Amino acid sequence: MTTAVDRRTFLTLPWLAALAGCRDTRAPGDGIPVDQRVVVLFPEQLKGTLDPRLNTRAWPGKLIHLAFDGLTTVNTPSGRPEPALAAAIEQPAPEIYDVRLRPGALFHDGSPVTARDVAATLESVRDKALGSPLRTVHERLRRIETQGADRVRLILEAPHAPYLSDLSVGVLPARYVEGKAPLMGAGPFAIQSRTDSHEVVLARHDRYWRGRPTLPYVVVRAVTDQNTRLLALLGGAADLVQNAVSPRLADAMRSRPGLAVDTFPGTAYSYICFNLRQGPLADVRVRQALAHGIDRQGIIRHKFRGVATAAQGMLPASHWAYAPDQARYPHDPAKAAALLDAAGFPPGPDGVRLTIELKVNTDKFRRNLARVMTADLAKIGVDLQVQAFEVGTLLSDVKSGNFQAYMLQWGDPSEPHFYNWIFHGERVPTPSEPNRGGNRGAYVRPEVSALIDQGRVAPEGERAAIYQQIQRLVAEDLPYLSLWHEDVVVVRRKGLTGYAASPNASLYGLWQARWVG
């Protein structure tokens, strides 16, 4: 095993920068002894703010999970929100949340987390002037009442069961909100330095309420080229890469001395969305035929090397609201062909029944997956025409309804009220309101919309049954072709132990990681 002393030979940012063609100067992380830090590589630049009220980008969001705690946390195995900075949350009425703060919860400067800080954070999110993307979530707050230093009452306009998950937004000091203090949180690590979009150094919060983190520093660096990330791991210039190496290359790393590959069940949900407005995909039999025509298990076996699980719907089988009895669509070309016959699409002289255009992003691995699907569907007479677009162009097209089908992924749909965003009849984007919702395929079933509305206000004990019924109905209608839930894949140096990834691929577990040997 490569020791900390061995790694000193390799672990300099200029070596990595020269390899990546990024820059040729040292960064603050280089000055930290290698046995006092863990270097994590991200596959994209660290752009945007690290203010938890304003960030919408997935990878900077992983840094936010390390630096900021909310009243609740969703970094849990089941996806259920659990208390974090809140010691307890009671509901004397469905629309009222009485929060008692955790004794000993401190911000990074040592000051206590108070009710005033919670109120200032949530009030600022609601303020139109801030422009927070979370504003629509928290604008349902009718009143915030501080009741002493450690208690706050949150009163909603109406009951909203998912609000416990919404309270996971990082709490900030009121002094920061007022412009009188630097950005800080109460998470296990504090932001010590940031070098443009290339590096962020996080320093241990010694008085963290859960306990003192084992690692003194976490250094996060952006390396956009996959081969460079792998070379950095192999050479000792990096210690951990998560969900940033293709399954094939991650599998190849299992046999490399000094490296280990860990997999954890993940919630990331890949799907194909169908445009139900017109054309052949408006017929449920065609959608069902495509579902039976794609060999998802074969793709998982050969392309993912087993590090994914076939999805029956948006929620994984481990989720508290999962419906095990929803309709399933195993690979069955004969059934697919029969469905297409019944839908009025017999084979033509060339064997082709119909042509479907599938839009995907330009990621090489995703395009390869689409090519395998093309071969699968050709066997049932469907000509799948794959079109690759940059993410911005792809999202613009899908929001405007300019597609027949597209393939994308939802990162962490663990709160089942997410069905409201993607399947409620009132969430269909329009030309005048392209951000009205994520129901881009225009799926409208009044029974589903009514159940979604019920799930939003139902007592906690009744929500699972409601969402299970939603899953059954959606599985019948198939507005989405559910593909797979991808595992969280971690490639790390063997000396780094104690790290367990969350199903939502948060890096929060690094607070318990440590070097051994």
pLDDT in tens, 265-305: 999 999 999 999 999 999 999 999 999 999 999 999 999 99
Cβ-based neighbours of 273, under 8 Å, separated by 6 or more = 398, 403, 405, 406, 407, 408, 440, 441, 479, 480
pLDDT in tens, 381-397: 999 999 999 988 998 99
DSSP string, 449-461: HHHHHHHHHS-HH
Tell me which of 1.20.272.10, 1.10.1370.30, 3.40.190.10, 3.40.720.10 is the CATH number of domain 4-52+187-264+488-515.
3.40.190.10
Each domain of the chain, given as residue ranges in start order, spans 4-52+187-264+488-515, 72-177, 269-486
319-323: Cβ within 8 A, 24+ apart: 319/78, 319/79, 319/267, 319/414, 319/416, 320/78, 320/79, 320/80, 320/464, 321/416, 321/463, 321/464, 321/467, 321/468, 322/468, 322/471, 323/467, 323/468, 323/469, 323/471, 323/472, 323/475
**Residue 359 per-residue DSSP state:** E
Cβ-based neighbours of 283, under 8 Å, separated by 6 or more = 343
Give dist(CA 501, CA 30) in Å, integer: 26
Give dist(CA 452, CA 271) in Å, integer: 20
> Taking all residues of the chain, what is their mean pLDDT, rounded to a whole number?
92
Over 70: is that where the pLDDT of 262 sits? Answer: yes
CB atoms within 10 A of CB 161: 20
Over 60: is that where the pLDDT of 18 sits? Answer: no
As its CATH architecture, domain 72-177 has Alpha-Beta Complex (3.90)
Label residue 180 exposed, middle or buried (CB < 10 Å: 0-12, 13-18, 19+).
exposed
Over 60: is that where the pLDDT of 355 sits? Answer: yes
**Tokens for 390?**
């940059």
Number of H helices, E strands in the chain: 17, 21
8 A C-beta contact, residue 405 and residue 377: no
C-alpha dist (Å) from residue 363 to 94, 225, 310, 359, 408: 45, 12, 21, 12, 11
Q: Looking up tokens 């993607």, which residue turns up?
A: 422
**pTM summary value:** 0.84
**Residue 281 per-residue DSSP state:** G
Over 60: is that where the pLDDT of 231 sits? Answer: yes
Report the pLDDT value the prediction gives residue 156, as an integer from 0 to 100: 97
Report the pLDDT value the prediction gives residue 2, as an integer from 0 to 100: 35
pLDDT over 70, % of the chain:
95
Percentage helix, strand, coil, to 5, in the chain?
Answer: 30, 20, 45
Q: Residue 299's closest CA among 251, 385, 366, 354? A: 366
Give dist(CA 307, CA 33) in Å, integer: 34
Over 70: is that where the pLDDT of 17 sits? Answer: no
CATH, domain range 269-486: 3.10.105.10
**Residue 61 per-residue DSSP state:** H
Give dist(CA 135, CA 122) in Å, integer: 9
Least confident of 126-130, 425-429, 432-436, 478-482: 432-436
**Tokens for 303?**
């392309």
pLDDT in tens, 365-423: 999 999 999 999 999 999 999 999 998 899 899 989 999 999 999 988 889 999 999 99
Over 80: is that where the pLDDT of 19 sits? Answer: no
pLDDT in tens, 299-335: 999 999 999 999 999 999 989 999 999 999 999 999 9
Q: Residue 419's closest CA among 472, 482, 470? A: 470
Report the pLDDT value the prediction gives residue 16, as an integer from 0 to 100: 45
Stretch 10-29: mean pLDDT, rounded? 52
Q: Can you name the residues that pair with 386 across neighbouring β-strands?
A: 358
Helix or strand holding residue 195 (H, E): strand 189-195
Report the pLDDT value the prediction gives residue 25, as an integer from 0 to 100: 55
DSSP string, 443-512: ---HHHHHHHHHHHHS-HHHHHHHHHHHHHHHHHH-SEEEEEEEPEEEEEETTEES----TT--SGGGGG
Report the pLDDT value the prediction gives residue 13, as an integer from 0 to 100: 43
pLDDT in tens, 470-494: 999 999 999 999 999 999 999 999 9
C-alpha dist (Å) from residue 201 to 38, 104, 381: 10, 25, 54
Q: Can you name the residues that pair with 485 across neighbouring β-strands?
A: 269, 309
